Amino acid sequence: MKAMKNRVALVTGGGSGIGRAISLVFAREGAKVAVVDMNEAGGKETVSMIEKLNEEAFFIKADVSKGKEVEAMIKKIIDKFGKLDYAANNAGIEGDQGSIIDQTEENWDKVISIDLKGVWLCMKYELPHMLKNNYGAIVNTASVAGLAGFAGISPYCASKHGVVGLTRTVALEYAKTGIRINAVCPGVIKTPMIDRFTHGDPEAEKGMMAMEPVGRLGKPEEIAEAVVWLCSDSASFVTGFPMAVDGGFMAA
């Protein structure tokens, strides 16, 4: 039996990597899925994969750092499906690497706008529709870089620490409404983002693997399972929680 049948889920950054995996797991559980991304080809490919599972999905191109686009995105979902039950606010970028004195203001602004402001905007426009039904669950994608520092990526770390704090705060604001808000904090996951970090260098990837106590990179599907569980009624007493899904990284 599909536990999320007749539910509606939104996934930002759904065109690849973790976002695609989240979209597919929501669909597997029977939810209708709105796949959001700036990458139109990737987003439509995710929709096609969901349709092959005989589930319903559609694509929306939107920049989550722009309030008007986020507001329009939510309106399209409500117009099509009539409601919004779950949101995985997953869209994000890593930005440029370098020490703080080598970082540019432009890179800081871009990373913070997408990775942190984007999550804030999504929740701002998602919550009113969940409140209408006194039901909903939101999972924001943070990172282990939101729980610990990593040299060379200060804008990314700042944004992800911000996502954790924002998640905890908004969870408290709506704790009595029937809406739960959590964050997932992935470790080093085999995604296009990690490929950009390593520049396709096998030795660099081995270095990434060495960071993980379990001795391997995580899979996008492993993060997706955690996100969908946090949205499910099985996690009904869980809110305000930044869940590390990190192969033991934060335990080391």
pLDDT 10s digits, 22-36: 999 999 999 999 999
Query: Residue 116 has what pLDDT?
Result: 98
> pLDDT tens across 125-146, in order?
999 999 999 999 999 999 999 9
Tell me what the mean pLDDT of segment 176-192 comes to.
94
Query: Residue 44 has what pLDDT?
Result: 98
CA–CA distance, 240 with 252 (Å, rounded to integer): 23
Is 80 exceeded by the pLDDT of residue 54? Answer: yes
Query: Residue 205 has what pLDDT?
Result: 81
Topology, domain 8-251: Rossmann fold (3.40.50)
Query: Residue 13 has what pLDDT?
Result: 98
> pLDDT tens across 215-252, in order?
999 999 999 999 999 999 999 999 999 999 999 999 98
Is 90 exceeded by the pLDDT of residue 106? Answer: yes
Mean pLDDT, all residues of the chain: 96
> pLDDT tens across 166-178, in order?
999 999 999 999 9
Check if 86 is active-site.
Answer: no
Give residue for tokens 């969908």. 228
The pLDDT-based confidence of 90 (bands split at 50, 70, 90) is very high
Domain coordinates of the chain in residue numbers?
8-251
3-state SS of the chain?
CCCCCCCEEEEECCCCHHHHHHHHHHHHCCCEEEEEECCHHHHHHHHHHHHCCCCCEEEEECCCCCHHHHHHHHHHHHHHHCCCCEEEECCCCCCCCECCCCCCHHHHHHHHHHHHHHHHHHHHHHHHHHHHHCCEEEEEECCHHHCCCCCCEHHHHHHHHHHHHHHHHHHHHCCCCCEEEEEEEECCECCHHHHHHHCCCHHHHHHHHHCCCCCCCECHHHHHHHHHHHHCHHHCCCCCCEEEECCCHHHC
Query: Residue 203 has what pLDDT?
Result: 84
Least confident of 57-61, 171-175, 191-195: 191-195
The pLDDT-based confidence of 194 (bands split at 50, 70, 90) is confident
Work out the angle at residue 192's Cα, subtended by the Cα atoms of residues 186 and 210, and round it to the nearest 5 degrees. 55
Given 86, 125, 156, 174, which residue is catalytic? 156
Is 80 exceeded by the pLDDT of residue 197? Answer: no
